[in-house]
Amino acid sequence: MKIIVCLKQVPVKDSLLKIKDDETWVHEDDLSYEINESDHYALETALRLKEEHGGEVVILTMGADRVREAIKQGLAKGAERAIHINNESFTTIDSNINAKILAAAIKTEQPDLILTGLQTDDYGSAQTGVILAEYLGLPHAGIVMEIQKQEGSIKVKRELESGWFQSVELPMPALLTIQSGINQLRYATIKGIMMAKKKEIKQPTLSDLGLSESDVAPGSSSLKFQKIYVPKKTKQTQFFEGDPKDIASQLVDKLRNEAKVF
Amino acid sequence: MTQSERESKSFCKAMFAGNIAQDVISPFPEMDAEEKENLNLILTSLRQFAKDNVDSAEIDRSGEIPKEVLEGMAEMGLFGMSIPEAYGGYGFSVTAYNRVFEEVAAIDASLAVTFGAHQSIGLKALILHGTEEQKKKFLPQLASGEKFAAFALTEPGAGSDAAGIKTTAVKNGDHYILNGNKIWITNGGFAHFFTVFAKTEMENGEQKITAFAVTRDMEGFSSGKEEEKLGIHGSSTTEINFDNIKVPAENVIGPLGKGFKVAMEVLNSGRLGLAAGCLGGVKKLLQMSAEHAKNRQQFNTPIAKFEMIQEKITAMAVDAFALESMVYMTTGLVDRGDVDYSIESAVCKVYASEAIWRAIDHGMQVAGGIGYSKEYSYERALRDARINLIFEGANEILRSFIALSGMQEHGEYLKTVGKALKNPLSELGVITDFAIHRIKSYVSSDRFDDVHDSLSSEVGKYEEYVKELHSCVEKALTKYRKDIIHQGFILERIADMTIDLFGMAAVISRLDGMLKAGNPTKVKRELTLGKLFCEEAWRRIRRNSRQVTNNADNLRREVANDVYEFNGYNLDLMG
């Protein structure tokens, strides 16, 4: 079974973010990066499927030179090879363009399964995976927690709202977006890290993928960032004064008529 | 380059002669790109592992590192990082190993001590001096973490005076009979492999120290109960005993009678690990303190805004920067392989162990009351940090070593002071490796040339105070001649001048490299930290140099003698 895992590198979770003057993104110079959490679980899921059923795991990622570290980490954990679409401008494009580029790279690979994380920890739009499935014309399931391989198909458990789950069967090839926390991530070993240096990292250009710069330019995006900002604090604290009886009745009044909790 | 030339190439020793061996420290050592990439992957993996699996409060409470933690680290391959690939390890550079050690120490002090006793010193003699057979026999299991190593030198009567060990190994046919006991042995309770130092009789009848490979399964080996310690509770510290152990002759590590040199080489490298570990601790305390200072409000203001808090935060950050520069300058020298780094590693150990002690002092003060509570990790950090000033060479003996080793190399003066100085430390019984070599094999001058313009003031001060060190050494040797070895007050000042001067040199070299490599605005933070360190360092050096000749040492001696005579203070204002 050939599995492609789409990995994105995102700023480390507890980073101190400084917004750029043009308010469209954050300063990236001082940031450290890590593999997006749910993508990491997608990779772990792929490695487990491969170990159980055989085949290969191919990492697919796009972004600047720095994403090489995420690729190496994936290779050190056991992926066989990687495809890195290297382009600085990819950080500010939308899910649709992301999916278009990824789809172009995947078409040459003919995988049985494509796994992505449910959503990224930076933009958090949870769109790339499902749009990618559309571009590839493949069935997909989102928020996947378990995968059982069957003859020519897979059966997956999806997470719904309020503690509900759904079981779905899909023909292969298919695309699944994976939920975080569904298994225990492995740690890259030094042995794996040393082996990673011998593994292939292909770096196709846009034209290798049949795309042009204009296909992926930020201007071609249907989505425009107007502004990012730190949410303003809007909570207000009100102190009641008077004797306890007064305070209690003021509180009840507020709860009933303003907060409308009863 | 011959062995003696290699050993005589020492940056710090040159400073004692007023020389600046710039070719040794400039450019600042840099790791090759591939190893750097691998190192970063290891650090990422280690941090994740620690976050998921290491509970330091529990390790401290239970006095034990969970088996799963050691097994997990073994599986990651961390216990064989510095072991050559031919023997089942990964052959990482000393720099990479120490950077990982720094991280382990930031995670947990007990874990770091266990890790270091195994890899920094326990098995190091095998790597440096083991025979091919010994390496093949022992190293693979130690690399995989299946078995652990320990270093056994200290005895009840031989601490800093390591040459005074009493354990004996008597030749008997094709083996030696080992008798004696060792104390304070880290990993003593569970290690399988021990590098043991014992006295052996040479052909001329002289008793000399030899290193042996001893394993726990040898008949007559036993270890005592776990010591109850102030800190590093999760690490194992025991006595070990040898009762007529038959050690095969092929287990001798290194040349017969050269065990002292083997021990010193191992400790020179081990001290660097300790220094890197302290650096990890300082960085962690700084992070905790900065977070607390920003969040804690008093007088409707975060305490971070108060300058008496900033003074502490700044001191910790400057220490971290200077120490980082010194440690990775020195590990770079070790990796380079053609220089003597014995003084530099002692300098790193002294500075590092005192920097972490200052850091916990500042950190606890910034934390206030909660710092004193067991609920938070400051008090554990305090208990864990204290040992660093004591083990792997107490700071007092290392200061003597720094000053006296430097003076030995003081070429012209050796002639006038005579033979007494050739082997000064042996009179103290100091643990040291002191081959006498004249400084000759490197380019040296009294100038630090071609340094980036932004550092001209720091370079000026550095050059001025290298001359001052040389002058202090001359004055001290002229005045005390061979009695210099008993002048602890003076030796301490000369050692402290050396420590600060090496710190300045490492900081200048690091900043110079960064400034020349790229955009100076990107180096702004480093430049500020480095300049502040240099500013504070030269003022300390000036104070110490003045006190070499102008001091209150006679009063100090008198007070100490009085206290000894009266067994304490023995004065009572109301009496």
With tokens 């082997």, the residue in question is: B423
Residue of B nearest to A71 (CA): B41
Residues B18 and B50 in one domain: yes
Look up residue B316 and give its amino acid. Answer: M
pLDDT at A217 over 80: no
Calpha distance A24→A108 (Å, rounded):
34
Residue B209 has φ and ψ, to the nearest 5°, of -85, 140
Of A69, A187, A197, the CB nearest to B40: A69
Chain B contact present for A73, CB below 8 A: yes
CATH code of the domain in which B58 resides: 1.10.540.10
CB burial string A209-233: b at 16+ within 10 A, e below: bebeeeebebeebeeeeeeeeeeee
Tokens for B494?
């000369």
The band of A218, judged by pLDDT with boundaries at 50, 70 and 90, is low
Residues B422 and B538 in one domain: yes
Residues B171 and B122 in one domain: no
Of A68, A72, A187, the CB nearest to B49: A187
Task: Please write down the long-range contacts of A50-54, taking CB distance under 8 Å and 24 or more positions apart.
Answer: A50/A1, A50/A3, A50/A78, A51/A78, A52/A149, A53/A1, A53/A149, A54/A1
**Residue B385, CA distances (Å) to B62, B244, B287, B391 in order:** 18, 37, 16, 11
CATH code of the domain in which B517 resides: 1.20.140.10
Residues B112 and B228 in one domain: no
Closest CA to B384 of B345, B357, B349, B347: B357
The answer to whether the beta carbons of residues B178 and B200 sit under 8 Å apart is no
Mean pLDDT lowest among A87-91, B59-63, B145-149, B175-179: A87-91
Contacts of B76 in chain A (CB under 8 A): 187-190
In angstroms, the separation between the Cα of residue A91 and the nearest Cα of chain B is 22
Residues B422 and B435 in one domain: yes
Of A68, A189, A194, the CB nearest to B76: A189
Mean pLDDT on B552-564: 97
Calpha distance B528→B520 (Å, rounded):
12
- A89 is a domain residue: yes
The answer to whether the beta carbons of residues B366 and B373 sit under 8 Å apart is no
A26 or B502: which carries more pLDDT confidence?
A: B502
Residues B128 and B173 in one domain: no
pTM: predicted TM-score of the whole model, two decimal places: 0.90
Q: Mark yes or no for CB contact B90/A73 under 8 Å.
A: no
In angstroms, the separation between the Cα of residue B100 and the nearest Cα of chain A is 12
- A51 is a domain residue: yes
pLDDT at B6 over 60: no
pLDDT at B436 over 50: no
* pLDDT at residue A225, as a whole number: 77
Of B44, B72, B75, the CB nearest to A73: B44
* pLDDT at residue B160, as a whole number: 85
Known active-site residue B463: no
Total domain count, chain A: 1
Chain B contact present for A185, CB below 8 A: yes
Of the three residues B122, B148, B174, the one that is the final residue of a domain is B148
Residue of B nearest to A34 (CA): B44
Contacts of B45 in chain A (CB under 8 A): 73, 76, 187-189, 193
- B416 is a domain residue: yes
Mean pLDDT on A182-190: 96
In angstroms, the separation between the Cα of residue B243 and the nearest Cα of chain A is 40
Residues B545 and B402 in one domain: yes
- A237 is a domain residue: no
Mean pLDDT on B535-563: 97
The band of B428, judged by pLDDT with boundaries at 50, 70 and 90, is very low
> What digits encode the pLDDT tens for the residues A7-54?
999 999 888 888 999 888 888 877 899 999 999 999 999 999 999 999
pLDDT at A224 over 90: no
* pLDDT at residue B444, as a whole number: 60
B345: Cβ contacts below 8 Å, ≥ 6 apart: B268, B269, B271, B272, B275, B330, B334
- Please give the ipTM for the structure prediction: 0.88
Tokens for B142?
């130690």
The mean of the pLDDT values for chain A is 91
- B21 is a domain residue: yes
Of the three residues B239, B257, B275, the one that is the final residue of a domain is B257
Residues B486 and B541 in one domain: yes
CATH code of the domain in which A182 resides: 3.40.50.620
The answer to whether the beta carbons of residues A179 and A118 sit under 8 Å apart is yes
Contacts of A40 in chain B (CB under 8 A): none
- B285 is a domain residue: no
Q: Mark yes or no for CB contact B41/A34 under 8 Å.
A: no
Distance of CA B378 to the CA centre of its chain: 23
Residue B432 has φ and ψ, to the nearest 5°, of -160, 160
Domain that holds residue A11: 2-220
CA dihedral B20→B21→B26→B31, nearest 10 degrees, is -130
* pLDDT at residue A92, as a whole number: 62
Mean pLDDT on B343-365: 98
Chain A contact present for B48, CB below 8 A: yes
* pLDDT at residue A89, as a whole number: 67
Contacts of A189 in chain B (CB under 8 A): 45, 75-77
The band of B179, judged by pLDDT with boundaries at 50, 70 and 90, is very high
Residue of B nearest to A67 (CA): B37
Residue of B nearest to A77 (CA): B45
Residue of A nearest to B74 (CA): A189
* pLDDT at residue A228, as a whole number: 86
Which residue of the set B102, B103, B239, B392 is catalytic?
B392
Mean pLDDT on B378-382: 97
pLDDT at B202 over 80: yes
pLDDT at B437 over 50: no
- B290 is a domain residue: no
Mean pLDDT on A172-190: 96
- A185 is a domain residue: yes
Chain B contact present for A189, CB below 8 A: yes
Residues B122 and B165 in one domain: no
Contacts of B41 in chain A (CB under 8 A): 69, 72-73, 76, 188, 193, 196
Mean pLDDT on B342-368: 98
- B484 is a domain residue: yes
* pLDDT at residue B434, as a whole number: 33
Total domain count, chain B: 3
> What digits encode the pLDDT tens for the residues B213-264?
999 999 999 999 999 999 999 999 999 999 999 999 999 999 999 999 999 9
Calpha distance B345→B95 (Å, rounded):
13
Question: In terms of DSSP bridges, do strands B175-186 and B193-201 run parallel, antiparallel, or are they unpaired?
Answer: unpaired
Calpha distance B82→B124 (Å, rounded):
9
The band of B429, judged by pLDDT with boundaries at 50, 70 and 90, is very low
- A146 is a domain residue: yes
**Residue A112, CA distances (Å) to A6, A75, A84, A139, A172 in order:** 14, 19, 20, 12, 6
The answer to whether the beta carbons of residues B545 and B465 sit under 8 Å apart is yes
Domain that holds residue B209: 150-257
Percent of chain A with pLDDT over 90: 66
- A141 is a domain residue: yes
> What digits encode the pLDDT tens for the residues B515-526?
998 877 779 999
pLDDT at A249 over 80: yes
Residue of B nearest to A74 (CA): B41
- B337 is a domain residue: no
Residue of A nearest to B37 (CA): A69
The mean of the pLDDT values for chain B is 92
How does DSSP classify residue B192?
S
Of the three residues B148, B174, B208, the one that is the final residue of a domain is B148
CATH code of the domain in which B211 resides: 2.40.110.10
Chain B contact present for A198, CB below 8 A: no
Mean pLDDT on B322-343: 95
Beta bridge partners of A168: A156
Closest CA to A129 of A102, A149, A108: A102
Mean pLDDT lowest among A117-121, A222-226, B14-18, B126-130: A222-226
Size of interface A-B (CB pairs under 8 A): 50
pLDDT at A124 over 90: no
Residues B400 and B546 in one domain: yes
In angstroms, the separation between the Cα of residue B512 and the nearest Cα of chain A is 21
> What digits encode the pLDDT tens for the residues B85-114?
999 999 999 999 999 999 999 999 999 999
- B114 is a domain residue: yes
Calpha distance A91→A61 (Å, rounded):
12
pLDDT at B409 over 80: no
Mean pLDDT lowest among A196-200, A241-245, B145-149, B197-201: A241-245
- A252 is a domain residue: no
The band of B410, judged by pLDDT with boundaries at 50, 70 and 90, is low
* pLDDT at residue A129, as a whole number: 95
The band of B297, judged by pLDDT with boundaries at 50, 70 and 90, is very high
With tokens 């270093």, the residue in question is: B151
Q: Mark yes or no for CB contact B77/A189 under 8 Å.
A: yes
* pLDDT at residue B420, as a whole number: 47
Question: In terms of DSSP bridges, do strands A56-63 and A2-6 run parallel, antiparallel, or are they unpaired?
Answer: parallel
The answer to whether the beta carbons of residues A82 and A58 sit under 8 Å apart is yes
In angstroms, the separation between the Cα of residue B99 and the nearest Cα of chain A is 15
Of A34, A190, A197, the CB nearest to B42: A190
Rounded (5°) CA angle B325-B331-B337:
135
Chain A contact present for B44, CB below 8 A: yes
Residues B29 and B158 in one domain: no
B351: part of which helix (H) or strand (E)? Answer: helix B342-367
pLDDT at B438 over 80: no
* pLDDT at residue A91, as a whole number: 57
Closest CA to B454 of B379, B518, B398: B518
Chain B contact present for A69, CB below 8 A: yes
Q: Which ranges of B164-302 does DSSP label H, i.e. alpha helix?
A: 259-295
- A236 is a domain residue: no
Residues B174 and B81 in one domain: no
**Residue B381, CA distances (Å) to B275, B358, B526 in order:** 16, 12, 27
Q: Mark yes or no for CB contact A190/B48 under 8 Å.
A: no
Chain B contact present for A194, CB below 8 A: yes
pLDDT at A162 over 50: yes
